[in-house]
Each structure stands twice: as structure tokens, then as C-alpha cells.
Amino acid sequence: MQIQTTDQLRALYKAPSERAVLKELTHIDSHLKRFISLSPFLVISSGDQTKSKGPVESREEMLKRYTPDL
């Protein structure tokens, strides 16, 4: 089954809680940059306004892209 709409997704999974939605970040600030630089493992989920997935990158590639000044 290919999920193409929010309604199809909600038929399988409940809506995220308000607490989960509030954790969504739109940018990486200096505190998060430091946290990422000290982390041994990193997962970033990204997408554009059409909700398509971003490219799969290694931790090092993501750090270069999102924290070039570290």
C-alpha cells in the first residue's frame, strides 16, 4: 500500500501529540550545533514543502551541510 494522503496515513497511525509537534525544528541554532557535534549518532528527517524526503546522507555529510562553522 502506498500512502499518498494524510487521511490514508491517519487510517494507520493516530495524529502526533501536541508535545511531539512542538519538538519540530525549522533551523539549527548554536546550542543544537554543539549538541550534534558531540553526538556519536545523528538522525535528521527532512523534506520540502511538498513533503518529499530529503537525500540520505552520512553523519559527516549532514554536519558539513548543517554546521559548516563548527
CA–CA dist 46, 54 (Å, integer): 5
CA–CA dist 6, 18 (Å, integer): 17
> What does the pLDDT look like over 22-34, one tens digit per residue?
888 777 888 888 8
Angle at 60 between CA 54 and CA 22, to 5 degrees: 50
> What does the pLDDT look like over 42-67, one tens digit per residue?
776 665 556 555 556 666 777 777 66
The pTM for the full model equals 0.39
